[in-house]
Amino acid sequence: MPRAFASIAFTPGVKAAQTQYGSREANIGFDFEPDPRNTLTEHEARFIAERDSFYQATVSETGWPYVQHRGGPIGFLKVLDARTIGYADLSGNAQYVSVGNLHADDRISLILMDYVNKRRLKLLGRARIVHDKDDPALMARLEVPTYRARVERGVLIHIEACEWNCPQHITPRWTQAQVEDIVAPLREELHRLRALPRDVTPSPAPLGDGPLPLRISGMRQLTPRVRAYELRHAEGLPLPAVAAGAHLPVPVTLADGSLAWRHYSVVSLPAGGQAYEIAVLRDDAGRGGSVAAHAQYQLGRVLNAQAPRNAFALHDGDSAAVLLAGGIGITPIRAMAHALRARGTPFTLHHAARSTAEAAYAEELRAELGAAYTLYTDDQRQRLPLASLLRDAPAQALFYACGPAGLLDALSQTAQTLGIAPQRLRFERFQAEAPQVRPQDQAIEVVLHRSGQTLHVAADQTVLAAVQSAGVAVRSSCLTGNCGICAVRVLKGEPEHRDHVLTDTERGPEHQMCICVSRAHSPRLVLDL
């Protein structure tokens, strides 16, 4: 069964054009869709109800198309049932071109725009003019009583096809009300600053006790929940060099007053090492770190951070790369795309997000990377085509992915099904799982060399928890082996490494282990604590 839109729009001439320009194969799937998409789902109905305008096209008796704008209060275009929409047609310039066209030819096409979120919906249908004297009950359903304008007639449209349009090349625009919502927090902040004594300049105290002093030199709001911070050395010195995939441990003060560390990928790799950029997604349901960062990170504030680390580095050589990002997982992936492009390595970047409005860096990446970048959004019912991306990738291409556990697990399972070697998959989880007790785990004895204490670590207990219970202060942050903050030297014994961050050198010659997740192959460990 062909999709209704294709049955109407894909005429022989259109198909010939698709063939000429190389898109016929990509569009042939429209001819075999199980869903004709000629009814409005709840998704389309909600979208229509949120619009305050649309564009409609009719056809004259001489074959000329005629396009007009129709506007009104939000919701003036009514969804009457799954196949019918309608609106009250208001008095205008009295030319009646659209009305006259519909009397001769009832075919009509509508485009509904959501400029903020870069969405558009196409509707094809057949229209019927109605008047109050003929059907007053129907006209009452179409009218908006609170909108002061003279209604001349009603227009009913029977839906023949509906189709979501490609979001590319839509310039975002905001209504006055939307702009007011965006600037309201800025107005409040301005009001607060103006209320301060004129001879007092706010100077927030530095955060953290790390060895790398970074001053917040820039901020920008990427999406309603994602804010980017530019960080420069507080003393004007060059920053430690970083490569794509590196993350930066930065301090926050949690609600209980305790200092904690959060780890954010270095998003951009500016020339000269003069600035880092990190992006923080505010997660109100998280552990409090991102909320604290949004509240505490202000222009000019100094963050005494830890040195950057990299457990998600790019490969050397010329092998192609397929980059996959879910949500805020775009942060290390963006840096990788820049690095690969700079060295001339072939790659593609596939970015999944809830919506275009929530896709951090989407506009910049589209402008920078062109056809190498593809965005998939839930609100457009688009999903990452993992099977085809893996199957169609260049031979021996490497796959880099950062995102939620569901995406990474699905990628691993798909790769296993297709027989792709695990060594070609490289992950970074930004929502790591808590350490799990394994059936083979046994109780171990841990000796703290400096304090002289000997601790019994139960099979279901982490070494970190046992050390902290003994009153020994140890820095920690992620509790999942992803940051390296809790790493300590092993003086005796054989650790069983379960972290995802320590390098071979740190595990080998330097004899370090992350005590938040790692245990021991030997029955006894001596730690430099």
321-429 carries CATH number 1.10.10.10: no
Q: Which tokens belong to 347?
A: 């790659």
Q: What is the mean pLDDT of the chain?
A: 89
pLDDT digits (tens, 9 = 90+) for 298-329: 999 999 999 998 888 899 988 999 999 999 99
d(CA 478, CA 315): 26
- Give the pLDDT of residue 509: 82
Tokens 């002061």: give the residue: 148
pLDDT on residue 353: 93
What value does the mean pLDDT take over residues 453-463?
A: 89
- Parallel, antiparallel, or unpaired: how do β-strands 302-305 and 212-221 relate? antiparallel
Section 246-262 average pLDDT? 89
How confident is the model at residue 380, as a pLDDT? 85
Using a pLDDT cut of 70, give the percent of the chain over it. 96
Q: Which fold has domain 212-305?
A: Elongation Factor Tu (Ef-tu); domain 3 (2.40.30)
- Highest mean pLDDT (candidates 58-72, 169-183, 263-277, 490-504): 58-72
Q: What is the pTM of this model?
A: 0.57
Is the pLDDT at 525 greater than 80? The verdict is yes
Predicted confidence band of residue 30 (pLDDT cuts 50, 70, 90): confident
User: How many CB atoms lie under 10 A from the CB of residue 172?
Assistant: 12
pLDDT in the model for residue 473:
80
CB contact at 8 A, 525 and 444: yes
Does residue 201 surpass a pLDDT of 60? no
List C-alpha distances in Å: 318 to 101, 314, 345, 390: 60, 11, 6, 18
Topology annotation, domain 444-527: Ubiquitin-like (UB roll) (3.10.20)
Evaluate if residue 524 carries a pLDDT over 80: yes
Confidence class for position 269, pLDDT limits 50, 70, 90:
low
pLDDT of residue 196: 78
Q: In which residue ranges of the chain is CATH 2.40.30.10 found?
A: 212-305
**Sequence ranges of the chain with CATH classification 2.30.110.10:** 4-164
d(CA 273, CA 275): 6
Q: What is the pLDDT of residue 430?
A: 61
Which CATH superfamily groups domain 4-164?
A: Electron Transport, Fmn-binding Protein; Chain A (2.30.110.10)
Where, residue-wise, is CATH 3.40.50.80 in the chain?
A: 321-429
pLDDT in tens, 400-446: 999 988 898 899 999 999 999 989 999 887 654 556 677 788 889 99
Provide the percentage of residues in the chain whose pLDDT is more than 90.
58
* Lowest-confidence region among 11-15, 54-58, 214-218, 473-477: 473-477
Q: What is the structure's pLDDT at 503?
A: 78
- 75-105 confidence digits (pLDDT tens): 999 999 999 999 999 888 789 999 999 999 9
> In sequence order, which residues have a C-beta less than 8 Å from that of residue 187 and are 6 or more positions away?
none
Predicted pLDDT of residue 28 = 85
Residue 480 token pair:
């999942």
* 272 pLDDT above the threshold of 70: no
Give the C-alpha separation, 506 to 488, whole Å. Answer: 10
Report the range out of 122-136, 159-173, 201-215 with the highest average pLDDT.
Answer: 122-136
Structure letter (DSSP) for residue 231: E
Average pLDDT over residues 335-351: 94
The per-residue DSSP string of 388-407 comes to HHHHTSPTT-EEEEEE-HHH
pLDDT value at residue 431: 52
**Residues in CB range of 332: below 8 A, 6 or more apart:** 244, 245, 246, 247, 265, 266, 267, 312, 402, 428
The per-residue pLDDT for 150 is 85
Residue 465 in this model has a pLDDT that exceeds 90: no
CA distances from 262 to 197, 251, 291 (A): 34, 6, 11
Q: What is the pLDDT of residue 436?
A: 65
pLDDT one-digit tens code per residue, 101-129: 999 999 999 999 999 888 899 999 999 99
What residue ranges of the chain are covered by domains with CATH 3.10.20.30?
Answer: 444-527
Among 442, 435, 525, 434, which residue's Cα sits nearest to residue 488?
525
Amino acid found at 485: I
pLDDT band at 377; cut points 50, 70, 90? very high
State residue 127's pLDDT score.
Answer: 97
Q: What is the pLDDT of residue 32?
A: 81
* Amino acid 44: pLDDT: 94
